[in-house]
Amino acid sequence: MEFWLSFNNREEELQLPVPPASFTVTKGSLNKVVTTAQTAGQVNLLGKGKGLLTEIEFSGFFPNQEYSFCRYRGFPKPHNCVEMIERWRKSGKPIRLIITGTDINLAMAI
């Protein structure tokens, strides 16, 4: 399984040198819980349609040297990886996350 992040239609790409051991996918909804004075309680408003957000959470590290468990050699230095991802985040533009071996190939916000 490979984790790929890309920016600006693959103008820039980063394959994570060490794939996370696990990740969590949370499918969003448009449901809202509101408190109303009329019912003196809470009402669940069911949302429909597009615009549902998917959250994918994972953690890992950027190695400073090559290890046998790294996916490839010649990967960027850790600070360069962090700077690249932070620059992408600050741009306000979506990135693409691809996790090979899964159906995950999504434009996402960081």
Please write the tens of the pLDDT for every residue from 21-70: 999 988 876 656 666 555 556 655 555 556 677 888 999 999 999 999 99
What is the domain extent for residue 76? 3-108
Mean pLDDT of 83-102: 95
**pLDDT score of 53:** 74
Position 77 scores a pLDDT of: 97
Q: How many domains does the chain have?
A: 1
Two tokens, residue 87: 């620059």
What pLDDT, on the 0 to 100 scale, is given for residue 27? 80
- Quickly state the pLDDT bin for 105 (edges 50, 70, 90): very high
**Whole-model pTM?**
0.76
Percent of the chain with pLDDT over 90: 66
